[in-house]
Structure formats: C-alpha cells, structure tokens
Amino acid sequence: MIHTKGLRRTFKGRRGAVEAVAGVDLDVLGGQTFGFLGPNGAGKTTTLRMLSTLLPVTSGQATVAGCDLRHQPAKVRERIGYVSQEGSSYSEVTGRRELTMQGRLYGMNRAVADKRAAELLETLELTDCGDRKTKTYSGGQKRRLDVGIGLMHLPDLLFLDEPTTGLDPQSRARMWDEVRRLRESGTTVFLTTHYLEEADALCDRIAIIDHGRIVAEGTPEELKREIAGDVVLVGPEGSPDKARDILKGQDFIRELTVENEVLRLYVDRGETALPQIIRLLDGAGINLATLSLHRPSLDDVFFRKTGRSLRETAP
C-alpha cells in the first residue's frame, strides 16, 4: 500500500539545507495498521506530509495506494484519507455539513454524500451532535469527526496523525476501537503516535524514525525480542552517580543508562540480576528507594534506538 525507497526531503534554511528526512525506506502492506514513531523533529510529520501529497518530495521513490507519489499526486489523493494533527473541522460548521462537503469534494452527488454522512455519524456515535456546530463538540467527538471526514470517500489508506493526542483515557479507548474496526474492515491505517502502548496495542508493524532515518522496523513483538533479556529500574536514595559507578563495571549488566535519577539496566536474566544488584549496592552503603523488574516494552525499544524516551519528547 505504501512503498518508499530513499525518500528524502531537505528544507532550505538560513545556514544551508537541512535534511529533515534523509532516505526513508518503508513497506506497508494492504490491510495493515502501521505505526510510525519518533521523537519530535525526527522527520515523522515531514514523512507523513510527503506521503499525503502535502509536501513535495526532494528525491527518492514512493508509491502510495498503487500510484506514483511524485508523478500522480492527483490519483494518490483520490485513494487516501488524511487526518491531520490540528483537526479538520471548522468551528462554525456542523459535523454533518463537514462530512457531506468532504464527500462532495470527492465527486459524490448530494444524495450519496448525505447517506454516507448519516452512516458515518451513526458508526462514530455522533448522530446526536451531528447537526450542531463543531465548536460545541468535546475533544473526543471532534477527533471522531476528523476521522469520519477522512473516511468519507472510503479510502483504501488512511493517514492518522497522532489520533489520540490530548484525549482523555475514555476517548482514547473509543478511538482505539475505531482504529481496530478499520483494520477489520480492511482499511490500511498509517498512524503516528506519541504513546507506545498505543502502537503496541493497535499496530501490526512499527517503524521508528530518528534524525530522518528509520532506526527500527518490525512487529512490536520482534522489536521487543530484539532487546533480549529484562529491564531493571534502580532508584537509589539521593544521587544516582555512586550507584552508577558501582554497577557500571559489572559483567551481568549489558547496558546502563540514567534517566531522571533512575538507573535503567538491561540484563540477560532479571531474576538472578536482582539479588546481585541488591548485594552490590547494600555493600556500598547505598539505600534503595525503588527497585523494579520489567519485560522490555516498546518504550525500551524506543529508548535503545533513539537514546531518548518518547515521553520526554512529547509536546
């Protein structure tokens, strides 16, 4: 559904060209829900804007929904839906009117557009507020309407730019259901998110972009498996520096990083590592405030691949 090779985009800045996307290869199969993750400024939005025809490509090849992105952008537009981060409805227009307008722009006649709009309002549980101006909508209703607008013309491929950012947990869960329903209906979804548990819960495959390049790609399971072993979080009382110095040289610790006064250790076997850590720190007179053992999560994958925690980079 999406196939790119060496996709690049440079912006002309005051100090010469800035490479926002530096050669991205992506393969998204039809019917998949694909998660696209990355810290802010990594090239995530630039890539999304290129794939949805909003931004011209500097170089490289891309096929989107079966059409060449650079030479047939008009054909691509007919086949994709795009839901931007900012939203897509205007405060002074009713939800129903936004939907029919969208349908009409894709060539539907009034009757077809009205019918499809009513259908979408129904499935998105917006029928009650469909005839109210969107400025009266809650955050979750507005976001569902955005998705409805993107789906109005039954696209093969839907781009969702951070569909749940800023939503309360209940609305987020509701949006997740919507994405799952899309997957069941065979629509390919390409989504960006700041929430790794979201990517883990929804996506068939995930790509992580950093500094304009793809640094990891695979199913959530594959990516987690790549980080063999377990993660131990050690929170010493006071400064973590002394504890770090003691643990740094130990053979059983494969990698050690410090984040927010907490040591993050990657170890092969958590159950045997814990007693060793306690013994070492106890021997050095360091008291522990917290100690926990985790299976690697996508957060750990992200952290290992980009050196940053995704939460830190969230806006």
Partner 1 sequence: MKLLRDTWLMFVRYFLIFIGNPAWVIIGVIQPVLYLLLFAPLLKSIVHIPGFPPGGAYNVFVPGLLIQLGLFGASGVGFGLIDELRSGVIERFRVTPVSRLALLLGRACRDILTLLIQSLILMGLAIPFGLQPTFLGVVVMLGLVALIGLGMSSLAYAAALALKDENSYAPLVFTLSLPLLLLSGVLLPLQLAPQWLQDIAKANPLSYAVTAARDVFNGNGGSPDVWKGLAIMAALAIVGIAIGARRFSRAIA
List 25, 27, 78, 204, residue binding partner 1 (CB under 8 A) = 78
Q: Does 187 bind partner 1 (CB under 8 A)?
A: no
Select from 78-86, 194-202, 260-268, 272-280 the region that touches partner 1 (CB under 8 A). 78-86
* Burial grade of 71 (CB within 10 A; 0-12, 13-18, 19 or more): exposed
- Cα(231)–Cα(296) distance, integer angstroms: 6
Q: Does 87 bind partner 1 (CB under 8 A)?
A: yes
CA dihedral 190, 196, 199, 201 (to 10 degrees): -160
- Cα(145)–Cα(143) distance, integer angstroms: 5
- Cα(208)–Cα(262) distance, integer angstroms: 24
Contact 221, 227 (CB under 8 A): no
- Which CB atom, from 8 or from 77, has the smaller least distance to partner 1? 77
Token duo for residue 116: 């499809």
Select from 91-99, 120-128, 213-221, 291-299 the region that touches partner 1 (CB under 8 A). 91-99
Residues between 26 and 65 that touch partner 1 (CB under 8 A) = 52-56
Give min distance, CB of 68 to partner 1, in A.
16
Contact 206, 198 (CB under 8 A): no
Q: Does 257 bind partner 1 (CB under 8 A)?
A: no
- Which CB atom, from 37 or from 51, has the smaller least distance to partner 1? 51
Q: Does 176 bind partner 1 (CB under 8 A)?
A: no
Q: Does 86 bind partner 1 (CB under 8 A)?
A: yes
- Which CB atom, from 79 or from 242, has the smaller least distance to partner 1? 79
Q: In terms of DSSP bridges, do strands 33-37 and 188-192 run parallel, antiparallel, or are they unpaired?
A: parallel
Q: Does 112 bind partner 1 (CB under 8 A)?
A: no
What count of other Cβ atoms lies within 10 Å of the Cβ of residue 236? 23
List 107, 166, 238, 307, residue binding partner 1 (CB under 8 A) = 107
Give min distance, CB of 257 to partner 1, in A.
35
Q: Does 262 bind partner 1 (CB under 8 A)?
A: no
How many chain residues interact with partner 1 (CB under 8 A)?
Answer: 29
- Angle CA(84)–CA(196)–CA(293) in degrees, nearest 5? 170
Q: Does 111 bind partner 1 (CB under 8 A)?
A: no
Amino acid code (one letter) for 115: K
Contact 294, 301 (CB under 8 A): no
Interaction site with partner 1 (CB under 8 A): 52-56, 74, 77-78, 80-82, 84-93, 97, 101-102, 104-107, 149
